Structures are given as C-alpha cells and as structure tokens.
Amino acid sequence: MRLEPVADPGLVRRIGLPALALVLTALAGAGLAAIAGADPLATLGQIATGAAGSRFAILETLNRATPLIFTGLAVAVAFRARLWNIGAEAQLYAGALVTVLIGTGLAGGWALALPKPALLALMALAAVAAGALVLLGPVILKTRAGVDEVVTTLLLNFVVLLFISLLLEGPLKDPAGMGWPKSPPLDRAARLPRIVEGLRLHWGFGLALIAAVAVWVIQTRTTLGFEMRAVGRNAAAARFAGMPVNRVLVRTALLSGGLAALAGFSEVAGLKGNLTLDLSPGYGYTGIIVAMLALLHPLGVVVAAVFVAGVFVGADAMSRSAGVPTYIADLLLATALLFMVLALQLTRFRVVRG
C-alpha cells in the first residue's frame, strides 16, 4: 500500500471527506458517552441543546468562540507559510498584559483621558504590537540561525506565563484583591461594550469577524498573501523566483502574533476586566485545533471556532444535567482533529496497492 498524489481533487473529496470526519466524530462522541454510562443519543442532544438551544446558549457559544477565532487565525496565518507558531498562548498573555497596563492607567494616566473609541483603539494596537514582538524573536532565530521555531515558541509560553505570575505577585497585584494574584480592574472607559445588554457577548466578537475577513483579503487579494502561500508550498522555489523568503516569514510572524494578542485584549477588555493567571484555559493551544479543522482557511476559522466553542459550552451543560464528565469535550475535539487530519491527507492523496 502506498500514497499517490491526487492531481485535481473533486468536490466529493474536498467537501465529502471533511463532512465524513465530522460524522465519525459524532459517532465517537456517542461511543464515549456510552462508556461513561450515559445514553449516547441523549448526551449528544444535550450537548447540542446546551450550545444552541436558547438565545442565552447561542450568545454564550459566540462569546467563547471569540478568543478562539483570534488564536485560530494566528495559527492559520503562520501555518499557511509553514511557520509553526505554537506560542499563541504567550502572545495572548502579552496582549492582555499591555491591555491592562494601558486600561488601568499604570502605563500613564494620559491614556484614560482619551475618548473611549481612541482609548480602545490604542489598547488594541498596543496589544497587537506586543504579540508581534513576542513572535519576532523566534522567527529571527529561525531565519538567521536555523533554530526550530516549534521549540522556541512552545518554551516562550512558559516564560511569558511565569513572567505574568511574577508581575501579579508583585507590581501588578491589586491591593484590593484580598491577596489573590490579579491585576487592578480596567477603567470603565477601557471596557468593550456588550452587544446584547445584560449578557456577556461583547464587541470583541465583532472585531474577530472583521479580523477573519481582513486575513482572507490579505491571503487572497494581496502580494503578501501570494508570497505567504508560495513560501508555504515550497520555500526553495519561492526563493529561486526572487521572493524575499525571510522577509515574508517575518511579516507573517508579525501578523500571526498580533492576531493572537487580540485574543488577550478582547478577553480582558470585553469579558474579565482584569488580568489573572487563568485568563486563558488554553485558547492558544486550542487555536491549533481550530485552524486545522478549518483547513487553514480564515473564514473557515470562524465556523470551526464556533463549533469548538459549542462543544465546550454544550459539554458544560451536558455535565450538569447528565452527570457525564466535561472531559468528553476534550476527547471529542481530539478525535475531530485526528479525523480531520486524516481527511485532509486523503483529499491530497489516494491509497493504492503496490
């Protein structure tokens, strides 16, 4: 048995195989529920109802999807150029840190005197710059010294998180926080408004949709997008054609790191209101799953992020009603990723004898 490239995958392969992967994921979820001692069909139904069975559930799913859209876009942009950014978690926290420094006045009270739209724009741009700088180091090491960016970006996650912990136990610790390691709350002017008053969905979700469309335009309508795709397909051929491969990788890194940092900005300014060590339950790592489920397509990232968020929100509701552990959500997503990677491989290759 061997794999043979498919010159022109048809519609059945490009659409049917990913759809089959989702069906197999649902069957695997039913099997996991049965192992846990619950009714498989009822468990899947409870997950779907918990994720989209009411207005509150839908808005909560979209709220949970917001940071996943940003981190999924960050991973999709980088992976498209074969820049293996595993450090979206670090870039997220860098964006959150800068957001707190500006939004609380710790970086200077002058910022809080700005009109609210200007203050929010300043916080978002500063977060983008911080996330971009975090990824700039690993990409320079990759282009100048050949250092594997998987290692450097992965280790930076721990470095940045420990640095945040140091700050929250020291100069950033809220004096009124009753000893808890958290930053002072943002000023009211530095908070993103809610889309629906009284519920948690905020305008960070709108910003995420704008970011997805902007990335799609960059990848499909600009020279940079063409260069990113060319470098991702074959860096040696791109270099032979005269493309500045290292410069393309640096630009890709700046865009990817900035997108991941916007997840930290939206979580702090739109939802939490301050910085804590548990700000992200692994959004940076989950962004890899989102990007792969979306086949690295920026608009597909939105759909994949909503799907992943729905699994998490639905699993929480299902756990309360059926007594099944919420870890089934993690197993479902891992299974979905494995099936989707296999579907992607079978889209590009066919299995032949000989």
Lookup: tokens for 210 = 């704008």
Task: Decide which of 334 and 71 is more confident.
Answer: 71
Mean pLDDT for the chain? Answer: 91
Q: What is the mean pLDDT of residues 233-247?
A: 93
Strands 2-5 and 349-352: antiparallel
Q: How far is CA 106 from CA 98, 115, 186, 245, 268, in A?
A: 10, 18, 10, 39, 15
Q: How confident is the model at residue 41 (pLDDT cuts 50, 70, 90)?
A: confident
**Single pTM value for the model:** 0.92
132-160 burial: b if 16+ Cβ within 10 Å, else e: bbbbebbbbebbeeeeebeebbbebbeeb
Residues in the chain: 354
Q: Quick one: the chain helix, strand, coil %, rounded to 5?
A: 75, 5, 25
Residue range 313-327, pLDDT digits in tens: 988 888 777 667 777
pLDDT score of 230 more than 80: yes
Residue, of 257 and 175, whose pLDDT is higher: 257
| 288, HSE (Cβ side, Cα atoms, 13 Å) | 16
Q: Is the pLDDT of residue 354 over 70?
A: no
Q: Which of 5-19, 236-250, 284-298 has the lowest mean pLDDT?
A: 5-19
For residues 315 and 45, give the distance between their C-alpha atoms in angstroms, rounded to a whole number.
Answer: 10
If you average pLDDT over residues 37-41, what whole number do you get? 81
Spatial separation of the C-alpha atoms in residues 261 and 132, rounded to whole Å: 8
pLDDT at 330: 82
For residue 198, the model assigns a pLDDT of: 80
